[in-house]
């Protein structure tokens, strides 16, 4: 790490409540483009001028919903609702690719729980490689003769959480559950944004929910639902 480095981040935008799914998705796009634009411009600056002695970091946008009741809902669909009270949250990547998917999920969550969706920055850094339009650019820069390492200046992909989750699955034979959920926040997705960097990945999946102890309740939910799954638009 750069000695005495200071972390520079983009100007923070506030967390905002939405009942309108179109406005919610539009704000997700603003937050995501702010973040990747910041990383791209800092990366170009480093390639041109070299290390400035600073670190650079930007964050995935986040969707949250607060549910205060076990109120019965129509659970024939396997998406668009949660099954227990609490603060449910997940990070989002590439909202521009999944706008239709996100819009329908958000609309159903608001309708089923009569609660606004909160959109704002998360605390999960975006790895530099996932912010660049051409991932090879970062690898090429790392391979060049530089007096510094990119990981000293930017966040890079960390596969350790994914490995821990997959190890848990192989040992227990149960459905994937997040091992990084910290109460009182409850995951409303199988994977966070950093696990879905490509256009082929789904940004979130509310068919799986973990409670505050980290136990999956998705299987119980699916026994009561029709088995339908939401496809990307």
Are 60 and 194 a contacting pair, CB within 8 Å?
Answer: yes
pLDDT digit string, tens, across residues 34-80: 999 999 999 988 888 887 789 999 999 999 999 998 888 877 888 88
Are 33 and 85 a contacting pair, CB within 8 Å?
Answer: no
- Range with lowest mean pLDDT among 8-22, 80-94, 112-126, 139-153: 139-153
pLDDT of residue 209: 35
Give me the mean pLDDT over the 89-96 stretch. Answer: 95
The DSSP output letter for 230 is P
For the chain, the domain total comes to 1
Are 69 and 112 a contacting pair, CB within 8 Å?
Answer: no
The answer to whether position 1 is within a domain reads no
CATH of the domain at 93: 3.30.1730.10
The answer to whether position 42 is within a domain reads yes
The answer to whether position 232 is within a domain reads no
Residue 12 has pLDDT above 60, yes or no: yes
Range of the domain at 113: 6-223
To the question of pTM greater than 0.85 for the whole model, the response is no
Residue 204 has pLDDT above 90, yes or no: no
The answer to whether position 230 is within a domain reads no
Residue 17 has pLDDT above 80, yes or no: yes
Question: Could you tell me which residue, 106 or 46, shows the higher pLDDT?
Answer: 106
pLDDT digit string, tens, across residues 124-166: 999 998 998 765 566 666 656 566 788 899 999 877 655 554 4
pLDDT of residue 231: 34
Question: Could you tell me which residue, 196 or 82, shows the higher pLDDT?
Answer: 82
The answer to whether position 167 is within a domain reads yes
The answer to whether position 51 is within a domain reads yes
The answer to whether position 160 is within a domain reads yes
pLDDT of residue 186: 64
User: Does the N-terminal peptide bond of residue 184 adopt cis geometry, omega within 30 degrees of 0?
Assistant: yes
The DSSP output letter for 84 is S
pLDDT digit string, tens, across residues 155-203: 998 776 555 544 444 444 433 333 343 444 666 665 566 655 443 334 4
**Strands (E) located in 75-202:** 86-91, 117-125, 185-187
As given in the structure block, the two tokens for residue 3 are 């000695």
What confidence category does residue 28 fall into, taking pLDDT thresholds of 50, 70 and 90?
Answer: very high
Give me the mean pLDDT over the 75-102 stretch. Answer: 91
pLDDT of residue 117: 97
The answer to whether position 126 is within a domain reads yes
What's the rounded Cα separation, in Å, for the pair 79 and 71? 16
């Amino acid at each position: 790490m750069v000695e005495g480095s200071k972390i520079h981040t983009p100007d923070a935008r506030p967390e905002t409540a939405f009942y309108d799914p179109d406005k919610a998705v539009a704000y997700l796009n603003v937050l995501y483009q702010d973040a990747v634009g910041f990383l791209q411009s800092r990366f170009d600056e480093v390639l041109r001028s070299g290390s400035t002695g600073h670190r650079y970091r930007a964050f995935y946008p986040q969707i949250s919903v607060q549910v205060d009741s076990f109120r019965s809902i129509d659970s024939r669909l396997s998406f668009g609702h949660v099954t227990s009270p609490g603060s449910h949250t997940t990070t989002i990547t590439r909202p521009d690719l999944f706008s239709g998917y996100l819009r329908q999920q958000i609309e159903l969550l608001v309708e089923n729980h009569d609660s606004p969706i909160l959109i704002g920055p998360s605390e999960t850094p975006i790895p530099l490689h996932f912010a660049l339009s051409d991932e090879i650019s970062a690898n090429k820069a790392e391979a060049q003769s530089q007096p510094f390492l990119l990981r000293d200046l930017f966040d890079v992909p960390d596969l350790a959480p994914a490995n821990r989750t997959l190890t848990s699955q192989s040992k227990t034979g149960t459905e994937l559950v997040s091992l990084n959920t910290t109460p009182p926040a409850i995951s409303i997705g199988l994977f966070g944004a950093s696990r879905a960097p490509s256009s082929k990945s789904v940004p979130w999946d509310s068919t799986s929910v973990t409670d505050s102890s980290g136990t999956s309740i998705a299987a119980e939910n699916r026994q009561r639902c029709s088995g339908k799954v939401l496809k990307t638009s």
